[in-house]
Homo-oligomer: A and B are copies of this chain.
Amino acid sequence: MPRPTIKTIAQETGLSIATVSKALNDSPQVRPETRAIVVAAAARVGYQLNMHGVQLRTGKTYQVAAIMTAPGPRQNEWEGVEYAQLLSGISWALEESPYRVSLYAVRNFEESLATIRQIVSLKKADGIIVSGTRADDPRVRIMQEADFPFVTYGTTIRNAPHAYVDADNEQMIRHSVARLAGRGHRRIALVNPMADLSYSLTRLDAYRAALEAAGLPFDPALVAHGHLTPAFGRECVLSMSALPSPPTAYICANEASALGAFSGFHARGLVHGRDAVINATDDLNVSQYFAPPITTYFLPIHEPSELLGRYILRRMEGEAPEALQTLIMPKLIERSDDRLA
């Protein structure tokens, strides 16, 4: 037996397929009693909407493209980004809707640009979710020019307003620096993401502002930019600890780099809490298992990711982007004393 269609229901009820279609779509043109008959028949024959017909007719794809920049196969360094949780959060937010998450894995920024261009021009999706935003992001511009619905995970700085979700990096860094300064630290290192990323800039600015507020000088030697891998965190500690006046605190942008920083401590014979301390920002909550556990600003990844899903739905329904902007303040979890020894 072939799969039932609206035609099946039409025969079953003696109505036309047009009426059936309208009934199923809650059109006011169809009488409530008729709708009830149609719905009953649909249930009886086990009717399920065939999306392909809808897609062809309406031009809608019912796909939300998630652009995921994953490191290439050559470099298998852990970056500690829980993309899986990010994706599942989005997926769950779309669960009740007819939309599905379509995955576009790209290797770098250029590829993501090309992919987005293609999705927009060939309308391969109805909406796009993209992360790793830059201060001035050409992808955002492309989507805006085409009036294509999208939400970014991460803010931009020099683009026109758009829908976004992000951790409140400014608040977090300000708070973090102030807290460490309040505990006696005068040499605070910033282990920052690649400089072209928007949140890198946000963090740097907040860092400088917070130092100034605390009456501490800014020293460029205490700031490093790089891919947030353990290798990078380790490298930062190895080089900065060799400075004439080494840092007594490291603010790591994620847990992977914090783990690497520990590895650097180990290599240099540094003891956490005595020689220096490590703080982190995280979404994995894995740093509670470090030895010793460290203080982190924790943002459970499912929060922003579900928001991304909900926002893209609303954006595709035409809601204004200005109404879809959220910064979430991560929660401080103090696991170590962090006072300057």
Contacts and interface: CB of A to CB of B under 8 A. Distances in A.
A265 B87 CA distance: 34
User: What band does the interface of chain A fall in when counting residues whose beta carbon is under 8 Å from B?
Assistant: 35 or more
A298 to B, nearest CB: 9
Contacts of A70: 84-85, 87-88
A291 B265 contact: yes
A286 B230 contact: yes
A52 B62 CA distance: 11
B102 A306 contact: no
A289 B260 contact: yes
A278 interface: no
A291 B306 contact: no
- A55, A78, A265: most-surrounded residue (chain B CB, <10 A): A78
A53 interface: yes
A291 B262 CA distance: 7
A66 B83 CA distance: 14
A135 B266 CA distance: 42
Contact of A81 (B3, B84, B101, B234): B84
A122 interface: yes
A218 interface: no
Given A73-B302, A230-B289, A291-B291, A103 B91 contact: yes
Contacts of A291: 262-263, 265-266, 291
Given A91-B104, A91-B105, A301-B76, A263 B289 contact: yes
Given A259-B289, A262-B291, A56 B48 contact: no
A14 interface: no
A148 interface: no
Contacts of A206: none
A191 interface: no
Contacts of A262: 289, 291
Contacts of A286: 78, 230, 256, 259
Interface string A42-57: 0000001000110110
A20 interface: no
The 9 closest A-B pairs by CB, nearest first: A83-B84, A88-B105, A73-B302, A91-B105, A266-B291, A70-B88, A230-B289, A263-B289, A52-B56
Interface of A: 3, 48, 52-53, 55-56, 59, 61, 63, 66, 68, 70-71, 73, 76-78, 81-85, 87-89, 91-92, 100-105, 122, 230-231, 234, 256, 259-260, 262-263, 265-266, 284-286, 288-293, 300-302, 306
18 contacts: A3-B122, A48-B122, A55-B56, A56-B56, A71-B85, A73-B92, A76-B284, A76-B301, A78-B82, A83-B83, A87-B103, A87-B105, A91-B105, A100-B103, A102-B103, A231-B289, A260-B289, A262-B289
